[in-house]
Structure 1
Amino acid sequence: MKAIFKLTSIIFLVLCSISCFSQRIDVRGKVVVFDSIPVVNANVIIKSTKETVKTNHLGVFKCECNEKDKLIVLAKGFNKYTIKVKKKNNELIGKLKLAKIPKAAEIAINKGHILKVDSFKELAKKYSDQKDYSKYTSFMDIIRNEFPSLQISSGEIIIRGKSSFYGSSAANIEIDGVMTDYSTLSNLSPSNIAKIEIVKGSDAAIYGVRGGNGVVKVTTKK
């Protein structure tokens, strides 16, 4: 009986080893920042084996790993990024974000991670003006916490100190260059908002009569 048990155990272990081996797959991926700019010479660490491969001048990498493995992407100036490997998807994309540290963009360039320097600098400047509003549940929640000087009343946003000859004190609302109403604004997902500006006084003169009560100017993420 002991001999049979040992033999059964050996067969089981062999089958497990064969099964594990058969689950190894070849994957190809690309690491980018701002959705399009390749991140060069980034470290891609295979979690199961701790093996490291690097991205080439196009941000592309190739490796072999388990079908449900994880790849850890590291590059100076960027946040760590984890890619989940799936058997049916061996074309992987790692979308890095600049780390929230001083001169993160300069660090990334100096470490040789960026070859398209001009495009990268332009986008880094653009995105540095964007604020993360995803922690809020609604636009109204954003206004209450980020702009306490504003009032929300009966579906209108009121900039204090403003009044109108037409009987309404409601500020006008602009989303991505288009004038709209509060209902459209309230339906925006906070995570999709890049920037909110309160335009008032002489700065609102470019809107003519419509700017008399100020303008809430919203820019969404493109």
Structure 2
Amino acid sequence: MNSQNKNITIRVKDVNNKPVSGAIILLDDVKQNVWTNSSGVFKTKLKSAPKEISAFHPKIGIKKIAYNGKENIIIKIEKGNDLHVSQNTKTQKKSDSGQFNSIYDYLRGQIAGVHVSDEDITIRGYNSINGDMTPLFILNETTVSKEIFGNIRPLDIKSVTVLKGPETTRYGVRGANGVIIVTTK
């Protein structure tokens, strides 16, 4: 590619060929600051061509393609593509975790009923006894603090399991607000 900037338009669609708004675009696994618009379109100017382009939507999945040098690109995200979700637990086995800046970005939007803000995670809503909403964090079979949990690098994650139903009872009162189990590589 020459030294001039190149305009690229990426259209993200689902399997029904409908536009996907709010999809995160990654160029060579680097998250961009702007998401797809309500028409599923992302436009950018590049100084150098990426090797790969990924489109990620937390409720649908992720699709990675090799960049072919064209100005107009269509990426179709298939439901569940690289994303494994069940009703009460979420485990991600294959991970393109380099696209996330923090463990909170990694978990955001992955499973219904789990809300992730900047550095807070709520699994079951407000606990009426003391107002505490913090889930139990387990890293490699050891209970850890929120501060240690927040320092987990997404690149180090092997799997994540979120417990939010009856399976939390084995953790007693500590698991009342849900449990997040992280295994690292």
TM-score by length of 2: 0.45
TM-score by length of 1: 0.38
With a CA cutoff of 8 Å and minimum separation of 6, indicate the structure with the bigger relative contact order: 2
Larger helix proportion, structure 1 or 2? 1
Rg (Cα) greater in structure: 1
